[in-house]
Every structure is written in structure tokens, then in C-alpha cells.
């Protein structure tokens, strides 16, 4: 069963004025993201609607209906074939399958729509995500060495059955590299928040750097995760000292520019300001 239609640029919920972020604002947003995920995972688009329904835990008619909604909202386009995913292709505003959209969806999925902004988790730093990825991809011995280097303890000695010991790992150098990377990430975040703070008064006319634009989209994603279909949204971010408000404004289109691309928010105004009056 489909959820309620989200408010679009016209404020009526009609697909006449679609928005690529509409699927994030419906009560059953997760089911639409699951369909987009099936499209993303099946690069040759050979799955049938029945197979999509099975993969997403729904029924074929519901899968087709959600696909048609995503077409109406501008997330995907389609040909004349109705029963196979080969009928559906990525559209120009298919946010869920672009680098920009992935960041928004990650922020949305990390924040429940029922959790207050103050309790929303901060996104992990890039170096920590990279370290986790390396540990996941490594074998048991390499994973143990990486973990030991990260927390600063000696690596376990291999047994005779494991063959010769690995080359010695310089723990001091490894810790220094981790601290340096963490410090670099902190400096990049400080630069991004400073740039976003300076641009706040004229946000729709400024083209932000990659770091500032990434920070802005992260804040947008967290705010959208808490937005009611007919209400405003707010998020506060203590590490950057910034707050972001999404204000409902039917008929208004707000463009946001960055090196990664452009987001146009239909039916919203965006306000960014220092948190708690910080300068």
C-alpha cells in the first residue's frame, strides 16, 4: 500500500511539479529507497517487477506503483515496456544513484524520522570509514594488524602453522599517520563550516567548494530525515557550530550551487546560521 503523496512545488501533492527528493518525504520512504536500490544493484535492469517485489518484500502491483511514482517525481524515466525493469532508466534527477544523492540518502538512513535533531548521529569521519573498509576487505592477519595499529597495541604473534611473521609494523608511525589524517579531516571540516557560515546570507547565489557543499548536503539530508510531509525542518550541528532550517514555501524554487553539482529544492527556503548565536 502506497503512502501519502508528498507536497511538491505546487503544494498540492500532484506529480505535475515533481521533485527528485519527494520519495524521502513520504511515510513509507524506505520502500521507495528499496526500489531505487534494486535498480542500482541490477545494472542491466533485467529484473521483472515481480522479482523487485520479492527483493523488497512487497507485491508486484505495489512495485510497479512505486516505480510509476518515482517516474512521476522525476527520479527515473521509462519506455513503453511496463512489466520489466528494462523499462526504467536513470533520469537526470535520480538523486539516489548519484554521488550527491548517495550522501543525502546515507544521512537520511542514519537518522530516523522519529528522532529529534539533537539526537541525530554525526556522520563518521572519512578516515574512519576508510579504515573500516580496509579492515573489512583484509584477511584475518592483515585485519588484526590494522586494528592493532589503530588502537596502539602490539600485533598478535603468528603461530608456526601460520608461516613466517609479517614485516614489523611501526606502531608509532601508524598512530602518527592516524592522528595526522584525523587532524587533516578536522581542518577540512573547519574550513567548510567557515565557508558555509560566510555564504549563509546569500546561499542561493554562491558556488560552494566541494567540502562546503558536502557539509551543506549532509545537513540537508539530516533535516529532510526529520521533516513532516507538511512541516518545516531543523537540524543543529554542534561540531560545526551551524544550524539549518528548511522552511516550507509553496511555489518557491531554491537552487544551491557547488563544485559537485546543483540541488534545486522545490517548495522550500533554506536558512543557515551560527548555532546559538555563535559568531
The per-residue pLDDT for 59 is 77
User: Nearest 5°: CA angle at 11, between 7 and 17?
Assistant: 80
Residue for grid cell 604473534 = 157
CATH number, span 22-97: 1.10.10.10
User: What pLDDT score does 117 carry?
Assistant: 42
**pLDDT per position in the chain (279 positions), as tens?**
233 333 333 333 444 444 666 777 777 777 887 777 777 665 555 666 677 777 777 777 777 788 788 777 777 776 545 455 656 655 544 444 555 555 665 665 555 344 434 444 455 566 666 666 666 666 677 766 766 666 655 555 555 555 666 666 666 666 666 666 666 667 888 888 899 989 888 887 888 988 888 888 888 888 888 777 778 888 898 888 899 988 888 888 888 888 878 888 888 889 999 987 555
Exposed/middle/buried for residue 172 (C-beta within 10 Å: 0-12, 13-18, 19+): exposed
User: In the block, which residue shows the cell 551543506?
Assistant: 216
What's the pLDDT at 93? 40
What number of residues does the chain have?
279
Domain range annotation of the chain: 22-97, 126-188, 200-277
pLDDT for 1: 27
pTM: 0.38
H or E stretch at 269 = strand 261-274
* pLDDT of the residue at 113: 41
3-state secondary structure of 51: helix
Q: What is the pLDDT of residue 243?
A: 92
The C-alpha cell at 223 is: 533535516
Strands 207-208 and 242-258: parallel
Q: What is the pLDDT of residue 16?
A: 42
Report which of 100, 85, 73, 102 is spatially closest to residue 38, judged by C-alpha positions: 85
Query: How high is the pLDDT of residue 272?
Result: 92
- pLDDT (0 to 100) of residue 156: 54
According to DSSP H, which parts of 21-152 are helical? 29-41, 49-56, 60-73, 99-109, 126-137, 140-151
Question: pLDDT of 197-218, one tens digit each?
Answer: 898 888 878 889 888 888 888 8
Cell of 57: 518484500
Amino acid at each position: 500500500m502506497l503512502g501519502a503523496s508528498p507536497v511538491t512545488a505546487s503544494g498540492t501533492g500532484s506529480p505535475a511539479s515533481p521533485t527528485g527528493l519527494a520519495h524521502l518525504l513520504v511515510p513509507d520512504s524506505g520502500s521507495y529507497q528499496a526500489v531505487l536500490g534494486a535498480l542500482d544493484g541490477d545494472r542491466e535492469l533485467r529484473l521483472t517487477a515481480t522479482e523487485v517485489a520479492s527483493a523488497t518484500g512487497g507485491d508486484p502491483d505495489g512495485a510497479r506503483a512505486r516505480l510509476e511514482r518515482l517516474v512521476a517525481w522525476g527520479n527515473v524515466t521509462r519506455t513503453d515496456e511496463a512489466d520489466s525493469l528494462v523499462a526504467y532508466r536513470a533520469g537526470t534527477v535520480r538523486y539516489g544513484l548519484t554521488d550527491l544523492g548517495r550522501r543525502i540518502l546515507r544521512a537520511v538512513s542514519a537518522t530516523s524520522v522519529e528522532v529529534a535533531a539533537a539526537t541525530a548521529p554525526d556522520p563518521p569521519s572519512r578516515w574512519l570509514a576508510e579504515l573500516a573498509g580496509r579492515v573489512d576487505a583484509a584477511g584475518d592477519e592483515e585485519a588484526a594488524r590494522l586494528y592493532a595499529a589503530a588502537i596502539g597495541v602490539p600485533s598478535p604473534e603468528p603461530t608456526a602453522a601460520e608461516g613466517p611473521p609479517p614485516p614489523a609494523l611501526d606502531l608509532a608511525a601508524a598512530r602518527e599517520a592516524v592522528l595526522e589524517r584525523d587532524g587533516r579531516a578536522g581542518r577540512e571540516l573547519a574550513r567548510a563550516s567557515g565557508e558555509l557560515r560566510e555564504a549563509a546570507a546569500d546561499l542561493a547565489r554562491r558556488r560552494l567548494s566541494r567540502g562546503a557543499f558536502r557539509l551543506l548536503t549532509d545537513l540537508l539530508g539530516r533535516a529532510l530525515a526529520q521533516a513532516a510531509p507538511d512541516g518545516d525542518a531543523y537540524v543543529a550541528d554542534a561540531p560545526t557550530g551551524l544550524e539549518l532550517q528548511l522552511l516550507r514555501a509553496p511555489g518557491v524554487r531554491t537552487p544551491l550551487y557547488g563544485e559537485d553539482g546543483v540541488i534545486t529544492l522545490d517548495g522550500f527556503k533554506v536558512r543557515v546560521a551560527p548555532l546559538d548565536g555563535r559568531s
